[in-house]
């Protein structure tokens, strides 16, 4: 007799984090249903079943029932850093995930992982607020006993194919690093994308109930300029000169970035970089059964 398929729906399967989650799940023996935007469904690896979806529009739980009902678990790795026309952050981060979570509860899918983000609790950015609303929707269903769900909160995620990874690597090549004063002191605790993906695969196999939240952080804490300097050193380059921009100039450049929503720099990004993004690595270490790997290993690219 054939073993039953252990099917997992991964939303955002072609994103940076989603691609690595898909790979880790397949290596762990799961069958992946890949939630993708129609436009990008053709780039999937063989053996992965595409499932078109639109996080700007699919706000009704009924739309999701057929997509999730034959799945053992669901992982949501859809997100945007900046809002685009017709792509509201409230829909993508909150209204649609809330519908997805309700559909899981309605159809008996117990395990749901929501890739959120490590953010200061008092952050007033729309990014943080919309993500927190999705977390609250998921945790409410969990509190009612309808889901065995976990909110994953990564710090900066580092790895091949990541937009922020590419940006940090580019900044590390500059002999002078202009940096806004408000983002000089806050610390990050970057995690390798492979460790994040391994944590997802592990959470789908542990027999006990999941923790409500799990912070996903690496073994080292850096200020952002120190992190870029460490990447520069890994590239074999001599130390760069840090040019601290006055806070008003940093804010003005972020406002200029606000005018161009297709690129990552803007006032919300500056606000997110202006606060610590660190947490205790022990829970992730316990889950993985090993220390998370340093992002600096093999960072010479």
Question: What does the binding site for ligand NAP look like in residue numbers (CB under 6 A)?
Answer: 12, 14-18, 36-37, 40, 53-56, 77-80, 87, 92, 115, 117, 154, 156-157, 162, 164
Q: Which is nearer to ligand NAP, 115 or 284 (CB)?
A: 115
Q: Which is nearer to ligand NAP, 40 or 253 (CB)?
A: 40
- Cβ atoms of residues 154 and 189 within 8 Å: no
Q: Which is nearer to ligand NAP, 37 or 202 (CB)?
A: 37
State the CB neighbour count (10 A cutoff) for residue 231: 24
Phi-psi region of 196 (alpha: psi -120 to 50; beta: other; left: phi over 0): alpha
CB of 186 to ligand NAP, least distance (A): 15
- How far is 93 from 81, CA to CA, in rounded Å? 10
| Three-state secondary structure call for residue 38 | helix
CB of 213 to ligand NAP, least distance (A): 13
CB of 260 to ligand NAP, least distance (A): 17
- 300: which residues sit within 8 A by CB, 6+ positions away? 234, 235, 236
Residue 38 structure tokens: 């129609």
The residue sitting closest to ligand NAP, measured at its beta carbon, is: 79
- How far is 124 from 130, CA to CA, in rounded Å? 10
Q: Which is nearer to ligand NAP, 89 or 210 (CB)?
A: 89
Give the position of tokens 């990004």: 269
First and final C-alpha spacing in the chain: 48
Q: Is the dihedral of CA 58, 62, 64, 67 positive or negative?
A: negative
CB of 214 to ligand NAP, least distance (A): 13
Q: Which is nearer to ligand NAP, 17 or 214 (CB)?
A: 17
CB of 246 to ligand NAP, least distance (A): 27
- 46: which residues sit within 8 A by CB, 6+ positions away? none
Q: Which is nearer to ligand NAP, 202 or 209 (CB)?
A: 202
CB of 295 to ligand NAP, least distance (A): 11
């Amino acid at each position: 007799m054939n073993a039953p398929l252990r099917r997992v729906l991964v939303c955002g399967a072609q994103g940076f984090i989603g691609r690595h989650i898909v790979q880790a799940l397949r290596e762990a023996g799961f069958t992946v249903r890949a939630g993708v935007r129609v436009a990008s469904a053709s780039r999937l690896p063989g053996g992965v079943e595409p499932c078109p979806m639109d996080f700007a529009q699919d706000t009704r739980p009924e739309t999701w029932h057929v997509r999730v009902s034959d799945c053992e678990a669901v992982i949501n790795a859809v997100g945007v850093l900046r809002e685009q026309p017709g792509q509201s952050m409230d829909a993508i981060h909150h209204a649609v995930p809330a519908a997805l979570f309700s559909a899981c509860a309605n159809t008996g899918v117990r395990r749901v992982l929501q890739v959120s983000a490590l953010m200061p609790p008092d952050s007033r950015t729309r990014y943080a607020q919309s993500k927190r609303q999705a977390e609250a929707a998921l945790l409410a269903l969990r509190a009612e006993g309808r889901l065995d769900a976990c909110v994953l909160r990564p710090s900066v995620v580092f790895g091949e194919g990541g937009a922020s990874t590419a940006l940090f690597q580019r900044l590390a090549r500059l002999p002078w690093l202009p940096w806004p004063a408000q983002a000089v002191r806050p610390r990050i605790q970057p995690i390798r994308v492979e460790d994040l993906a391994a944590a997802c695969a592990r959470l789908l196999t542990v027999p006990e109930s999941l923790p409500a939240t799990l912070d996903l952080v690496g073994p080292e804490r850096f200020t952002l300029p120190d992190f870029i300097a460490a990447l520069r050193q890994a590239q074999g380059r001599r130390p760069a000169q840090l040019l601290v921009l006055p806070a008003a100039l940093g804010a003005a450049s972020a406002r200029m970035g606000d005018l161009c929503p297709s690129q990552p720099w803007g006032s919300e990004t500056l606000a997110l970089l202006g606060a610590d993004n660190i947490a205790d690595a022990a829970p992730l270490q316990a889950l993985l059964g090993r220390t998370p790997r340093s992002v600096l290993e093999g960072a010479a690219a």
